[in-house]
Structure 1
Amino acid sequence: MTLPRAHRSRRTLLAAAVLSAGALALAGCGASDEPDASASDAPAEESGSDSSGDWPRTFENADGTTTEIAEQPENILSTTVSTTGTLLAIDAPVTVTATDANGDFFPQWADAADAAGVEKAWPAGAPDIEAAIAAAPDLIVVAMTGQDAMADAVADLQDIAPTIVIDYGEGTWEELALELGEATGLETEAQSAIDEFDALVTETAEKITVPEGEANIVSYNGPGGSNPIGHADGPHGSILQALGFTIEEPDADWHTQPEPRADFVFADYEHLTELTADTTFVLSADDQAAEEGFGSDEVLANVPSVANGQVYGLGANSFRVDKFSATEIVEHIADVFAE
């Protein structure tokens, strides 16, 4: 069985999410949403269930290669901390994971990892092949890009266990969930996590009043460095669009990295003065931090969102979007903009 990678565009995914959530609402389903490992209204199959599809199966990796997975995994090593939250959200049996650079789990899913007994392997950027061997995994997940990437070690990891390569920066957490669901035989769990989140988004959209005009999404770092600005159809923009916001698209010519990215335009600080949206959401910040940073920057005083006093944090855990952090984002939007 060959597993196709998820190639849906963000607009297609967004439309599918809205249709799915609308169907749930018509059916009278309750709404919840969380980048958390939670259950949907329909009973989900447990990991390792015998209705999880045909094995062996072939996974199409992000680097163009393929990996044969002989049987449904029961002991997954995630070498990419940015992907571990999505594995937990679909109830995948991840037992060992790399951590952030400080040796910690991401806060949004740390409780879920502790409850599942997940062990720490190594900090991002400091991989340890001996630790991978000691984990005795039957599936290894590797990121192709990012600080936690181990694409150059795939050959060594393949000697330990079947190793799949994903690119979490190229899509939404929903696309990644479907992809990982196919690799692990947890397609039902992946779809349930998405449906649950869609229901929460629909419920929240009905409760909030969206400010007039456009909104933008900024990872504010101040002068002297990059200040990434979210694409309208990136992971953050897709969530906000589903909630009813219209997202300002950053100028592609501002991008300072060699290759274009699907999630952000990495812009120099001075380009922040050219933003025109009436509302700004600041990544990796609560409302107070957003106001004390972006909202109080004298150079940005004439930016419409700053002049309007409409600068908000998108949440301390909002930079890397998985189901757990996406839920935090939506719940915060509800708190701020509920009627």
Structure 2
Amino acid sequence: MNRRSFLTLATCAAALGSSAGAVTGWPRRLTNADGSETALPRAPARILSTSVTLTGSLLAIGAPVIASATTVRGAFFDQWQAVARARGVDKLWRAGSIDLEAAWALEPDLIVVSAGGADSALAQRAALAEVAPVLVLDYGAMAWEDLTRRLAQATGREAEAEALLTGFAETLDATRAALTLPAGRANIVSYNGPGAPNPIARAKGAHGRLLTGLGFDLEDPPTGWQSASMPASADVVRASYEHLTQLSAETTFLLAGTKADAARFMADPILANLPSVQRGQVYGLGKNSFRIDYYSAREVVDGITRQFGGA
């Protein structure tokens, strides 16, 4: 990513004014993922998030989230759970379940629903709409920056989103200038071993764009590696384990990986001839890097800084 790209990212939040032109002021009509519209009479003061993935982006712009669904294990995401705790966000149901009585009791004035994913409550959309206006967003089809803008429009937090995106772009710019990167290309692998899909990040996916923004040249996996039995994704190619042996980048980052995961990858005898393994240049991208929002993106940038900052 060149300097012009950074400036574009730094000023992308300014587009909030133009992209939100149809929804300036209140009441607002917002477009859902399926093209339908949701009417909001005023800026919401009590938001219920039925998607643990969307909650992080709401918290990042300071939206008034009163309760959120959790992961299937009953937890919030590590990268923002301290923020949620400090703001008194209640835990709702676990992903894959729903409690309409709890939704009614909380008296929200906006309910946010994911269009897909394990944390989607889309099947209960009609019932939730009886409680409060429902906004449906497809986080799987949007960059985290675009998702932030959409949630800003829904909550009246455009100024906060602008500050967030501008600040992050400035951090990327400053970080890139201070890094000393290894020569050659890099790839990003979700390493699961034999007998399971091993997704590889696409260069224009969320993780690929983040590392490109830090100065890495990303190896883009062939789309033909995509497993026919798995849904396609804009962020990764869900490849089989055998395809990992065909990677050629000199550096490998492991999605949701730690130092221990990097050691396990390098100890895999089937992968012993990979250029990144031969060079000992395999790194965990961080345990919270499985899904990119503002908080996890900052964690990734901080981790890259510690590894390649040269300080």
Cα-Cα RMSD? 1.9
Q: CA deviation at 1:271?
A: 0.8
What amino acid is the match of 1:241?
T
Task: Please report the TM-score for the alignment, with normalisation by the length of structure 1.
Answer: 0.84
The answer to whether 1:333 aligns with 2:311 is no
1:219 corresponds to 2:190: yes
**Aligned equivalent of 2:68:** 97
Equivalent runs, 1:312-327 vs 2, <5 Å: 312-327=283-298
Q: Which residue is 1:282 aligned to? A: 254
Amino acid of the structure 1 residue aligned with 2:53: S
Q: Partner of 2:114 in structure 1?
A: 143
3-state SS in 2 of match to 1:227: coil
- Whole-Å separation in 2 of the counterparts to 1:22 and 1:236: 18
Aligned partner letter, 2:162 = Q
Q: 1:131 to 1:17 in 2, by over 3 A?
A: farther
Q: 1-side partners of 2:105 and 2:5: how far apart?
A: 40
Letter in 2 for 1:270: E
Query: Residue 237 in 1 paired to residue 208 in 2?
Result: yes
Quick check: 2:201–2:237 contact (8 Å CA) kept in 1? Answer: yes
Which residue does the alignment assign to 2:20?
none
Match of 1:170 in 2: 141
Gapped regions of structure 1 (runs ≥ 5): 1-10, 24-51
Rounded to whole Å, the distance in 2 between the matches of 1:334 and 1:258 is: 34
Report what 1:18 is aligned to. Answer: 6
Q: Percent identity?
A: 47
Which residues of 2 match residues 1-339 of structure 1 at below 5 A? 18-20=6-8, 53-256=24-227, 257=229, 259-286=231-258, 288-339=259-310
Q: 1:15 to 1:262 in 2, by over 3 A?
A: farther
Extract unaligned runs of 5+ from structure 2.
12-22
CA 1:205–1:15: 2 relative to 1, 3 Å: closer
What is the deviation of 1:291?
2.0
Deviating more after overlay: 138-147 vs 150-159: 150-159
Q: Distance in 2 between matches of 1:275 and 1:284?
A: 19
Of 74-83 and 188-197, deviating more is: 188-197
CA distance, structure 2, for counterparts of residue 67 and residue 128 of structure 1: 22
Measure how far apart 1:290 and its partner are: 2.8
Whole-Å separation in 2 of the counterparts to 1:100 and 1:15: 38
Which residue of the partner structure matches residue 38 of structure 1?
A: none
Q: Does the 8 Å CA contact 1:172/1:235 hold for their aligned counterparts?
A: yes
Q: CA deviation at 1:335?
A: 0.5
TM-score, structure 2 as length reference: 0.92
Between 1 and 2, higher relative CO (CA 8 Å, sep ≥ 6) is seen in 1
Counterpart AA for 1:174: E
Equivalent pair of 1:218/1:230 in contact (CA under 8 Å): yes
Q: Secondary structure of the residue that 2:239 maps to in structure 1?
A: strand
Q: Which amino acid aligns with 2:61?
A: I
* Cα distance between partner residues in 2 of 1:254 and 1:125: 29
CA distance in 1, matches of 2:303, 2:236: 22
User: SS of the residue aligned with 2:29?
Assistant: strand
1:255-278 Cα offsets, whole Å, 9 max, x none, are 125542111111111111111111
Q: Which amino acid aligns with 1:125?
A: G
Once residues 175 and 81 of structure 2 are traced to their aligned partners in structure 1, the CA distance between those partners, rounded to angstroms, is 25
- Please tell me whether the aligned partners of residues 220 and 293 of structure 1 are also in contact (alpha carbons under 8 angstroms): no
Conserved 8 A contact 1:171-1:234: no
On the 8 A contact 2:176/2:215 being kept in 1, the answer is yes
Amino acid at match of 1:265: V
Is contact 2:26-2:42 (8 Å) kept? yes
Give the Cα separation in 2 of the matches to 1:317 and 1:291.
15
Deviations 1:174-231 (A, max 9, x none): 1110010011111111111111111111111011112111111111111111111111
Say if 1:20 and 1:195, in contact at 8 Å, map to a contact too.
no
**1:46 equivalent in structure 2:** none
Q: Give the counterpart letter for 1:268 in structure 2.
A: S
Aligned equivalents of 2:38, 2:5: Cα separation in 1? 29
Mapped contact 2:9–2:166 kept (Cα < 8 A)? yes
Runs (4+) off by over 3 Å = 14-17, 20-23
Change (3 A) 1:293 1:126: farther
- 1:21–1:202 contact (8 Å) kept in structure 2: no
